[in-house]
Amino acid sequence: MNKGFKPSEKNLDEFQRYKYAIDQHSIVAITDKQGRITEVNDKFCQLSQYSREELIGQDHRIINSGHHTKEFFKDLYKTIHSGRVWKGEIKNRAKDGSFYWVATTITPLFNNEGDITSFIAVRTEITENKRIEKALSDSERKLQNANQQFKIATSAANIGIWERDLILNKTYLDKISCSLHGIKNKDSMKLSDKSWYDFIHPEDILRVRKNYEELLRSKNQFEINYRVIRKDQSLKYIKSYGIVERDEKGVALRMIGALIDETKQRQTEKILLEREENYRRENKLLEESQAVAKLGGWELDIETGNLYWTTETYRIHDTSPEEFNPTVDAGVGYFLPESKRIISEALEVAMSEGKGYDLILETYTTKGRKITVRTTCKVTFVDNKPAKLGGIFQDISDQVLKEDELKNAKEKAEENDRLKSAFLANMRHEIRTPLNAVIGFSKQLVNPETTETERKEFGRYVINGANQLLSLIEDITSFSLLETNQVHVNESEVNINQLLRDLEVQFKPEAETRGLNINLANALPDYESVINTDNSKLSRIITNLLSNALKFTHKGEIKFGYTVKETNLIFFVEDTGIGISPENKAKVFDSFQQADGSIRRTYGGTGLGLSICKGLIEVIGGKIWVESTLGKGSTFYFSIPFKQVVQTKELFANEELNSGIPTILIAEDQFINFHYLKVIFQKRFECDILHAANGEEAVKLFKSNPKIDLVLMDISMPIMDGFDAANLINQLNSEVPIIAQTGYDIESNEKYSPDIFSGYISKPIDQEKLFAKISIHVSID
Ligand code: ADP
């Protein structure tokens, strides 16, 4: 305890010197026993900003800052009044209200009796010290706070902290880092470089090591991801951040870093990725299956009118979202009229009454393709009111087509079944009839009582029956060959004019016995009528058609021939027979089909002829069709490729030039007359015969055949008569003899000139007279 300072007379001087020294350094105030200020030095005045006058007589409350408690001052007064010295730090307030701190020593002063007379307070300003002290304590507190916050943050974020002393080769892991590696805290200190790598996933070790070495060498910061396999074999995804501390020479001293556990994030990412992948896959599969099923969808927001189409719905409409903006009006607009009416009505009912639909309708696509669709609608309600419509939109055209095909196939199978039975029954009849004749009349042939005339007649019946059976067998064979695709084309050069003329000759007798005319009309001259085709098939087809024409015609005529149409020849067989009704027209070309049931009873037949014709024509690359009016007649047409043999003309000429046998041109419009002449010539001597159906043709043929030795010219012919034709031929070559043939008295005709004609022969032609005439000009032996 300090005793108060009591100056005596003798050391008063000394006291004055002390006082001076103290005044220079300290703030000094003297108060009386009551605490009233009796004296202050200049420093006091300066610091408190009060003048001496203002201070003298006041107590210390004038500079009280209010910072200290009552107890603080109580203790102070108690100390000094008990005669002891008080030391402490006081915060005061200056006149302008600013604060200042002072380190204070208050010493009681005593009189000779030892009573306290006054107090002397000596102060030193410590405001700056206080500020520094406060700042220090503030920053320490802040640091502590920050530390605490850091700890909270790292533990909340599950961030591990680690440190590696590169000098001591020691690794320190905090609690979280330990748990990330699945090791106990106490073991972490033992982690050497090697054992730390033991935790890293084998696939990541190399990368981590490379990064670590690079870091030590040149970098100061790093960030790396790797996987840790914990002791319990579980996997952790770690992100490691760190910095390297180096000494002034750049030698790495230690590394400090943070470990972030990204396992959850990675797992979530993985799950999300998987989900996304699954979603993508499912979406793709869905799209693919929708495309296969041609199944689209649609949705309509009733309020906004927004119409949504799925990708497939666009595709079904032959469009895409880039090309087309779907609206209800546009969508409905594509439906065919009847379907449009139905869908408009259904949509209206769906929107107003909330009733869905499931419809099969026909619509056009945006590219005008007609399709059949199934469209359904389900209604979604909001507040009991229809809000959204949606459903499927499926292109079922293929399905409908297949169903139709199946239906047709089924009907056809049933029909075939029926036809087969009918055919078998019919065949029995078709075979039995001629066979009966063959058997019956054969028996009569060997009967000795049969007369010679009868035998001849019966013989004809037998031959007839056998021929019928033969053609039936041929039909059946052809049919089965066609059915099994075993019929092949066998092309050769065929003169179709000749072929048709032969058929005319063949059918003429039967036509005549039945009182029918038969007429042939060939479109091309002979030298242009050579084509490449299958001779036997073509002949068979026309034969079949002519047989039918004869069979189904009772009076009138049968015309046949061909015309040229572009690259095809169109053959026709026209009759004035019973005709075919429109509904039976297509049917007659099917196998075993006849126009109707009565035909079989009246006309017999197997229903195979036309189907064979159709099959053969298709094999040689053509088509068959019929135009017919019931009761008036029919015209069967068929086309074949016109593969003309162009060198025909030259061929004709060359052949004749080389042959050395005479060539005779017969100009005759009546084919039968020409045929007659041809037959008698060729029976008598070897020659080549050319035919012209009129004068013009005769001139043409003459021009193109320099080897013609003789012309037999009919006078009355269409297009150009025999006089004019002979005149022109004579102008071309007056050496070639022209013999006129006529039914009239030619010599009285003014057009007749003996200079042009080498003679004439009257019709009906007498063979011998004819040969006599021509033998003058050509050799007939
Ligand atoms: P078939 O003559 O053996 O009955 P086809 O196949 O030749 O068999 O003819 C089928 C059917 O076509 C005939 O049954 C007949 O009803 C009809 N038809 C064929 N040609 C004629 C024709 N020229 N005039 C009228 N009907 C015909």
Q: Residue 193: what pLDDT?
A: 59
What are the DSSP E strand ranges found in 544-701?
557-565, 568-575, 624-629, 633-641, 663-667, 688-692
Atom of ligand 1 nearest to the CA of 593: 10
The answer on pLDDT for 9 being more than 70 is: no
Choosing from 482, 552, 558 the residue with most ligand 1 atoms within 8 A of its CB, the one to mutate for a pocket test is: 552
**Residue 503 in contact with ligand 1 by CB distance below 6 A:** no
Name the most confidently modeled range: 334-348, 599-613, 662-676, 712-726: 334-348
What average pLDDT does this structure show over 198-216?
88
Atom of ligand 1 nearest to the CA of 633: 24
Q: Residue 190: what pLDDT?
A: 64
Closest-CA residue to 400 (of 346, 361, 367):
361
The answer on pLDDT for 212 being more than 50 is: yes
Tokens in use for 565? Answer: 């149409």
Query: Integer distance in angstroms from the first to the last C-alpha of the chain?
Result: 186
Tokens in use for 111? Answer: 């009189």
**How many Å apart are CA 257 and CA 222, to the nearest integer?**
9
**Residue 468 in contact with ligand 1 by CB distance below 6 A:** no
Q: What is the mean pLDDT of the chain?
A: 87
What average pLDDT does this structure show over 719-732?
92
The answer on pLDDT for 72 being more than 80 is: yes
In DSSP notation, 501-537 reads: HHHHHHHHHHHHHTT-EEEEE-SS-GGG-EEEE-HHH
According to DSSP, the residues that pair with 252 across neighbouring strands are 246
What are the DSSP E strand ranges found in 76-232?
86-93, 99-110, 116-125, 159-165, 170-173, 221-229
Choosing from 578, 596, 601, 610 the residue with most ligand 1 atoms within 8 A of its CB, the one to mutate for a pocket test is: 610
Name the most confidently modeled range: 281-285, 497-501, 629-633, 744-748: 629-633
Reported pTM: 0.40
**Residue 633 in contact with ligand 1 by CB distance below 6 A:** no
Phi, psi of 717 (to 5 degrees): -140, 150
The answer to whether residues 692 and 726 touch, using CB atoms and an 8 Å cutoff, is no
Tokens in use for 382? Answer: 């909001």
* Residues 6 or more apart whose Cβ sits within 8 Å of residue 320: 314
Which of the residue ranges 164-178, 337-351, 389-403 would you say has the lowest mean pLDDT? 164-178
Phi, psi of 755 (to 5 degrees): -75, -30
pLDDT band at 10 (very low <50, low <70, confident <90, very high): low
The gap from C-alpha 142 to its chain's centroid, in whole angstroms, comes to 69
**How many Å apart are CA 456 and CA 367, to the nearest integer?**
75
pLDDT band at 187 (very low <50, low <70, confident <90, very high): low
* Residues 6 or more apart whose Cβ sits within 8 Å of residue 569: 496, 531, 562, 563, 639, 640, 641, 642
What average pLDDT does this structure show over 272-284?
88
**How many Å apart are CA 695 and CA 703, to the nearest integer?**
12
Q: Residue 328: what pLDDT?
A: 93
Residue whose structure tokens are 């929708």: 290
What average pLDDT does this structure show over 315-343?
95
Higher pLDDT, 723 or 434: 723
Atom 21 of ligand 1, nearest CA residue = 548
Atom 20 of ligand 1, nearest CA residue = 548
**How many Å apart are CA 393 and CA 576, to the nearest integer?**
56
Q: Write out pLDDT tens, residues 108-154.
A: 999 888 899 999 999 999 999 888 888 888 888 888 888 788 778 77
Say what percent of the chain tops pLDDT 90: 43
Atom of ligand 1 nearest to the CA of 544: 7
What average pLDDT does this structure show over 236-254?
89
**Residue 605 in contact with ligand 1 by CB distance below 6 A:** yes
Q: Write out pLDDT tens, residues 732-766.
A: 888 899 999 887 777 777 888 878 888 888 877 87
Q: Write out pLDDT tens, residues 30-66.
A: 999 888 999 999 999 999 999 999 999 998 889 999 9
Distance 588 CA to ligand 1 centre (A): 6
**Residue 426 in contact with ligand 1 by CB distance below 6 A:** no
Strands 252-261, 235-246: parallel, antiparallel or unpaired by DSSP? antiparallel
Q: Residue 655: what pLDDT?
A: 44
What average pLDDT does this structure show over 370-374?
96
**Residue 693 in contact with ligand 1 by CB distance below 6 A:** no
Choosing from 426, 580, 596 the residue with most ligand 1 atoms within 8 A of its CB, the one to mutate for a pocket test is: 580
Distance 130 CA to ligand 1 centre (A): 134
The answer on pLDDT for 415 being more than 50 is: yes
Distance 591 CA to ligand 1 centre (A): 11
Distance 595 CA to ligand 1 centre (A): 7
**Residue 607 in contact with ligand 1 by CB distance below 6 A:** yes
Query: Where do the H-state alpha helices sit in 533-590?
Result: 535-551
**Residue 588 in contact with ligand 1 by CB distance below 6 A:** yes
> Which three-class secondary structure state does DSSP give residue 303?
coil
**How many Å apart are CA 571 and CA 708, to the nearest integer?**
31
**How many Å apart are CA 581 and CA 688, to the nearest integer?**
47
Q: Residue 658: what pLDDT?
A: 44
